[in-house]
Chain A
Amino acid sequence: MSNNVQHESKQTTTSDPSDKITYLLNLLGKKLPNQSSSAPPPPVTENDSDYEDIMTDEEQDIYTFDTKQQLIQSLYSSHAKFNPSLSPHDFNQDQDQLNINNNDKNEKSSTILQQQQVELLILETFKDHPQLQFLTGKHLKYLDLSLHSKLPAYFNALDANHTWMMYWLINAHKLINQSTVEIDTDTIDLINDKVESCIIKDGKYGISGGSNQIGHIASTFSGILTLVLTKNYPRLLEIRSHLYHWFISLKQSDGSFLMHINGESDSRSVYCVLAISALLNLHTDELTNHILNWINKNQSYEGGYSNNAHNECHGGYSFCSMSIYYLLFTHKSQFKTDSKINLDNLIRWLVMRQFAIEGGLNGRTNKLVDSCYAYWIGAIYPMIEVLIDQPIFNRDGLKTYLLKAGQNFDKGGFRDKPGKSTDFYHTNYSLSGLSVCEYTYDLESDDTNDDDDDELLAFKFKVANNDDNDNDDDNEKFTNAIHPIFGIPITDVNEIRQYFKNFPKPI
Chain B
Amino acid sequence: MSNDYNFDDVIPVEINTEQPQLCQILYDDEYKTTMGILLALLKNEEYSERALYITQKGIELLASHYTIWIYRYDILTKLNKDLFEELDWCEQVALENEKNYQIWNYRQLIIDRILKTSGDEKEGSTKRKYEPHREFPILEAMLDSDPKNHHVWSYRKWLVEKFDLFNDPKELEFVDKCILADLRNNSAWNHRYFLKFAKVDLITEESVKNELQYVESLIEQLPQNPSSWNYLIGIYQKQGLKLSGLEDFCLKFINLKELELNDNSFKAVKSLYALEMLAKIFLERKDYKDSIKVYDLLGTQYDTIRSNYWKYEKSKVETIVGGTTH
Residue of B with least CB distance to A424: B23
Contact, CB under 8 Å: A261 / B70: yes
Q: How far is the CA of A458 from the CA of B190 in the complex (A)?
A: 31
The distance in angstroms between the C-alpha atoms of A314 and B154, with both chains bound, is 12
Nearest to A350 among chain B residues (CB) is B309
Residues of B within 8 Å of A209, CB to CB, are 66-67
Q: Which residue of A lies closest to B161 (CB)?
A: A310
With A88-B266, A153-B26 known to touch, is A365 a contact of B186 (CB < 8 Å)? yes
For the complex, give the distance between the alpha carbons of A89 and B304 in Å: 15
Question: Can you pick out 9 interface pairs between chain A and chain B where the beta carbons lie within 8 Å of each other?
Answer: A107-B222, A109-B182, A112-B184, A151-B25, A156-B31, A212-B13, A364-B187, A365-B186, A393-B309
Per-residue CB contact flags for chain A residues 143-159 toward chain B (1 = under 8 Å, else 0) read: 00011101111011111
Complex CA–CA separation, A264 to B109 (angstroms) = 10
A-side contacts of B183, CB under 8 Å: 106, 109
Distance in angstroms from B68 CB to nearest chain A CB is 9
- Asked if B221 and A106 sit within 8 Å, CB to CB, the answer is yes
Once the chains are docked, how many angstroms separate the CA of A114 from the CA of B42?
44
Which residues does chain A contribute within 8 Å of B31, judged by CB atoms? 153, 156
The closest CB in chain B to the CB of A388 belongs to B312
Shortest CB-to-CB span from B267 to chain A, Å, is 8
Query: Which chain B residues lie closer than 8 Å to A166 at the CB level?
Result: 22-23
- In the assembled complex, A397 has its CB within 8 A of some CB on chain B: yes
Q: Does A352 lie at the interface of the complex (its beta carbon under 8 Å from any beta carbon of B)? A: yes
Q: Find out whether the CB atom of A10 lies under 8 angstroms from the CB atom of B99.
A: yes
A263 touches B271 (CB 8 A): no
In the assembled complex, the Cα of A6 lies from the Cα of B266 at a distance in Å of: 38
Contact with A along B227-256 (1 / 0, CB 8 A): 100110110011000000000000000000
Chain B residues packing against A (C-beta within 8 Å): 13, 15-16, 18, 20-28, 31, 35, 39, 42-43, 61-62, 64-67, 70-71, 73, 98-102, 105, 109, 146-148, 150, 153-154, 157, 161, 181-187, 190-191, 193-194, 197-198, 221-227, 230-231, 233-234, 237-238, 265-267, 269-272, 302-309, 311-312, 315
Please state if A311 and B65 are interface contacts (CB–CB under 8 Å).
Answer: no
C-alpha spacing A157/B181, complex, angstroms: 33
| Chain B residues, Cβ within 8 Å of A302 | 190, 230, 234
User: What 6 pairs between A and B have smallest CB-CB spacing?
Assistant: A301-B234, A4-B64, A111-B184, A91-B266, A109-B182, A6-B99
Q: Which residues of B contact A47 (CB under 8 A)?
A: 26
A156, B186: Cβ atoms closer than 8 Å: no
* In the bound complex, CA of A104 to CA of B184 (Å): 13
A46 contacts partner chain B, Cβ-Cβ < 8 Å: yes
Contact of B190 among A5, A151, A211, A312 (CB under 8 A): A312
A310 touches B222 (CB 8 A): no
Q: Which residue of B lies closest to A190 (CB)?
A: B22
* A262 CA / B71 CA spacing, docked (Å): 10
A210 at the interface (CB under 8 A from B): yes
Q: Which residue of A lies closest to B238 (CB)?
A: A301
| Pairwise interchain contact A210-B148, C-beta atoms closer than 8 A | no
Contact with B along A303-335 (1 / 0, CB 8 A): 000011011111000000000000000000000
A window 84-107: CB within 8 A of B:
85-92, 103-104, 106-107
Cα of A449 to Cα of B28 in the assembled complex, Å: 62
Q: Which of A255-312 contact B (CB under 8 A)?
A: 259-264, 300-302, 307-308, 310-312
In the bound assembly, the distance between CA atoms of A394 and B306 in angstroms comes to 7
**Chain B proximity of A456: nearest CB distance (Å):** 27
A355: B residues at CB distance < 8 A: 305
| A156-B31, A263-B70, A366-B184 known; A354 vs B99 contact (CB < 8 Å) | no
Closest to B38 in A: A212
User: A158–B15 Cα gap in the complex (Å)?
Assistant: 13
Query: With A213-B39, A301-B234, A393-B308 as given contacts, are A88 and B270 in contact (CB-CB < 8 Å)?
Result: yes
The docked-state distance in angstroms from the alpha carbon of A393 to that of B21 is: 42
A191 within 8 A of B: yes
Complex Cα distance, B23 from A4, in Å, reads: 17
A347 close to chain B: CB less than 8 A: yes
When distances are taken between beta carbons in the complex, the residues of chain B under 8 Å from A165 are 22-23
In this complex, what residue of A is CB-closest to B158? Answer: A308
Chain A residues near B15: list those with CB within 8 A: 159, 210-212
Told that A301-B238, A392-B309 touch, could you supply 18 new A-B pairs with CB distance under 8 A?
Answer: A6-B99, A6-B100, A8-B99, A10-B98, A92-B266, A148-B22, A153-B25, A156-B31, A156-B61, A190-B21, A197-B16, A210-B15, A212-B43, A213-B66, A312-B150, A364-B187, A365-B227, A366-B184
Bound complex: CA A262 to CA B237 (Å): 37
A167-211: CB near B (< 8 Å → 1, else 0) gives 001000000000000000001001101100100000000001111
A426 to B230, CA, bound (A): 29
Task: Say which residue of A5, A210, A262, A310 sits within 8 Å of B70 (CB atoms).
Answer: A262
* A390 in contact with B66 given A91-B265, A212-B43, A302-B234 (CB within 8 Å): no
Question: How near does chain B come to A261, taking the closest CB pair, in angstroms?
Answer: 7
- Name the A residues within 8 Å of B304 (CB-CB): 85, 356
Residue from A90, A160, A308, A391 in contact with B66 in the complex, judged by beta carbons closer than 8 Å: A160
Contact status B22-A262, CB under 8 Å: no
- Chain A 1-33 near chain B by CB (<8 Å), digits 1 or 0: 001111010110000000000000000000000
Near B by CB (< 8 A), chain A positions 447-461 give: none
- B residues in contact with A86, CB < 8 Å: 266
Query: A111–B182 contact, CB under 8 A?
Result: yes
A209–B67 Cα distance when bound, in Å, is 9
- Whether B157 lies near A155 (C-beta < 8 A) is no
When distances are taken between beta carbons in the complex, the residues of chain A under 8 Å from B305 are 85, 354-356, 359, 394, 397
Chain B residues with CB under 8 A of A106: 182-184, 221-222
Residues of chain B within 8 A of A150, CB atoms compared: 24-26
A40 CB to closest chain B CB, in angstroms?
22
A109 touches B23 (CB 8 A): no
Closest to A89 in B: B224
Assess whether A133 is interfacial by the CB under 8 Å rule.
no
B39 touches A194 (CB 8 A): no
- B234 near A157: Cβ-Cβ < 8 Å: no
A367 at the interface (CB under 8 A from B): yes
How many angstroms between the C-alpha atoms of A310 and B233 in the bound complex? Answer: 16
Task: Decide if B21 touches A194 in the complex (CB within 8 Å).
Answer: yes
A467 within 8 A of partner (CB)? no
Q: How distant is the Cα of A210 from the Cα of B22 in the complex, in angstroms?
A: 13
**Contact across chains for A312 and B187 when beta carbons are under 8 A apart:** yes
> When chains A and B are docked, how far (Å) is the Cα of A48 from the Cα of B25?
11
Question: Is A71 engaged at the interface, CB distance under 8 Å to the other chain?
Answer: no
Q: Does B24 contact A151, Cβ atoms closer than 8 Å?
A: yes
Query: Across the interface, do A352 and B147 meet the contact criterion of CB distance under 8 Å?
Result: no
Q: Is B105 in contact with A301, judged by CB distance below 8 angstroms?
A: no
Query: Min CB distance, B6 to chain A, in Å?
Result: 22
Taking a contact as CB atoms under 8 Å apart, the answer to whether B181 and A109 are in contact is yes
Residue of B nearest to A384 (CB): B312
Given contacts A5-B64, A153-B28, are A347 and B22 in contact (CB under 8 A)?
Answer: no
Question: B71: nearest residue on chain A (CB-CB)?
Answer: A214
Contact A311 B64 (CB under 8 A): no
A62 contacts B by Cβ under 8 Å:
no
Of residues 374 through 400 on chain A, the ones whose CB sits less than 8 Å from some CB of chain B are: 388, 390-394, 397
Chain A, residues 422-451, CB within 8 Å of chain B (1/0): the string is 000000000000000000000000000000
Is there a chain B Cβ closer than 8 Å to A232's Cβ? no
Q: Which residues of A contact B70 (CB under 8 A)?
A: 214, 260-263
CB distance from A268 to the nearest CB of B (A): 11
Instruction: Write out the residue numbers on chain B whose beta carbons fall within 8 Å of the beta carbon of A5.
Output: 64
